[in-house]
Amino acid sequence: MIILFRLLALLPLPVLHAVGVLVGWLSFGLSPTYRRRFRDNAIQAGYRPASLWRAVAESGKLVAEVPRLWFGRPVPVEWAAEDLVASARQQGRGIVFLTPHLGCFEVTAQAYAARHGRITVLYRPARKPWLRNMVDRARTRDNLRAVPTTLAGARDLLRALKAGEAVGLLPDQVPPQGQGVWAPFFGKPAYTMTLSTRLARQSGALLVLAWGERLSWGRGYRIHLRRWPSDVAPEPQAAAGQVNAAMEALIRECPDQYLWGYARYKAPPAEQSVAMKA
């Protein structure tokens, strides 16, 4: 599989994205579950599913671009509102980047590591050993470290923040049981992680909203950064509501690149908790 990924990584980004369009529509056509979830999530957010058909192609591009991002040459990246990073670094504060399943979330951490320095990202390890080994090798590179969703991983994130470094999380990913609370997401209760805001409170880090826009015709990516809109609520459920509202705002900036087929409202998996004491 690694050999296949390395071969695909040699292809130009426009070619991979063209293949991704086909992958996206094949997945949509062959999976009733995917179609139903896409429709239900879009309606829940107030959109007509027919107005989001471009999101089907974008989800396929998300899959097709992975070999290039993991094993290929660097992709073109431009930044928007990069002054937020400079401000945090001048203050000696760490940064907690919150990135939803919007656009290309793989490229945001890579771009930060290549341009600004060390960043640690949280991820859920693959269950199959061969895939886990490949992902670990692909996601670990200069200035970029990936840590698992375990207590040890959460501690690594906190240490990085206290050292003035950056960390990255997908706050709209459904966390394991015991790691979140129920909070509204587009008006419907969704199990939401509490780790991101607790990390910010414990370390004094700056919360920054981020997402990687996938530019048309394989021209690369644009990293968008947004300030956290308010003080973090001290109560976990209120803070989770703030996180979900912030993610909703980002998604509405570019709904065509949100992963509408993601099972955001599923019950939390019963896994080992990484909950941290306040």
Beta-carbon contacts of residue 247 (< 8 Å; ≥ 6 apart): 98, 100, 171, 172, 185, 209
Average pLDDT over every residue of 51-73: 96
> With contact defined as beta carbons under 8 Å apart, do 255 and 32 qualify?
no
CA 246 vs CA 22, 101, 141, 226: distances in Å: 32, 13, 29, 10
Average pLDDT over every residue of 127-133: 71
Instruction: Tell me what pLDDT residue 272 has.
Output: 42
Q: CA-to-CA distance for 110 and 116, rounded, in angstroms?
A: 10
The residue with greater pLDDT, 100 or 90, is 100
Instruction: Tell me what pLDDT residue 275 has.
Output: 39
Instruction: Tell me what pLDDT residue 52 has.
Output: 97
Res 20 pLDDT > 60: yes
The residue with greater pLDDT, 141 or 133, is 141
Instruction: Tell me what pLDDT residue 57 has.
Output: 98
Is 99 part of any domain?
yes
* Cβ-count burial 8-21 (b if 16+ within 10 Å, e if not): bbebebeebbbbbb
Q: CA-to-CA distance for 274 and 193, rounded, in angstroms?
A: 10
Is 253 part of any domain?
yes
Is 103 part of any domain?
yes
Instruction: Tell me what pLDDT residue 3 has.
Output: 86
Average pLDDT over every residue of 17-39: 97
Instruction: Tell me what pLDDT residue 230 has.
Output: 85
Q: What is the pLDDT of residues 223-240, one digit of tens each?
A: 999 999 888 999 999 999
Helix (H) or strand (E) holding 242: helix 236-253
Tokens at residue 42, please?
């879009």
Q: What is the pLDDT of residues 160-210, one digit of tens each?
A: 999 999 999 999 999 888 889 999 999 999 999 999 999 999 999 999 999
> With contact defined as beta carbons under 8 Å apart, do 210 and 99 qualify?
yes
Q: Based on the structure, what is the number of domains in the chain?
A: 1
Is 262 part of any domain?
no
Segments forming the whole domain that contains residue 184: 76-257
Q: CA-to-CA distance for 93 and 77, rounded, in angstroms?
A: 24
> At which residue do the structure tokens 């945090």 appear?
88
Instruction: Tell me what pLDDT residue 130 has.
Output: 66
With a pLDDT cut of 70, the percent of the chain lying above it is: 96
Q: Which of 217, 222, 210, 215 lies closest to 249, judged by CA?
A: 210
The distance of Cα 70 from the centroid of its chain, to the nearest Å, equals: 15
Q: Are strands 166-169 and 119-123 parallel, antiparallel or unpaired?
A: parallel
Q: Are strands 95-98 and 206-214 parallel, antiparallel or unpaired?
A: parallel
Q: What is the pLDDT of residues 245-255, one digit of tens each?
A: 999 999 999 99
Res 274 pLDDT > 70: no
> With contact defined as beta carbons under 8 Å apart, do 135 and 126 qualify?
yes
Res 273 pLDDT > 60: no
Indicate the average pLDDT of the chain. 91
Is 227 part of any domain?
yes
> At which residue do the structure tokens 């859920």 appear?
124
Q: CA-to-CA distance for 245 and 184, rounded, in angstroms?
A: 8
Q: CA-to-CA distance for 221 and 46, rounded, in angstroms?
A: 27
Average pLDDT over every residue of 63-90: 92
pLDDT band at 81 (very low <50, low <70, confident <90, very high): confident
Q: What is the pLDDT of residues 134-158, one digit of tens each?
A: 777 777 788 999 888 788 889 999 9
Is 115 part of any domain?
yes
Instruction: Tell me what pLDDT residue 278 has.
Output: 38
> With contact defined as beta carbons under 8 Å apart, do 182 and 174 qualify?
no
Is 135 part of any domain?
yes
Of the given ranges (17-21, 108-112, 133-137, 147-151), which has the lowest mean pLDDT? 133-137
* Most distant CA pair in the chain, distance: 51
Is 125 part of any domain?
yes
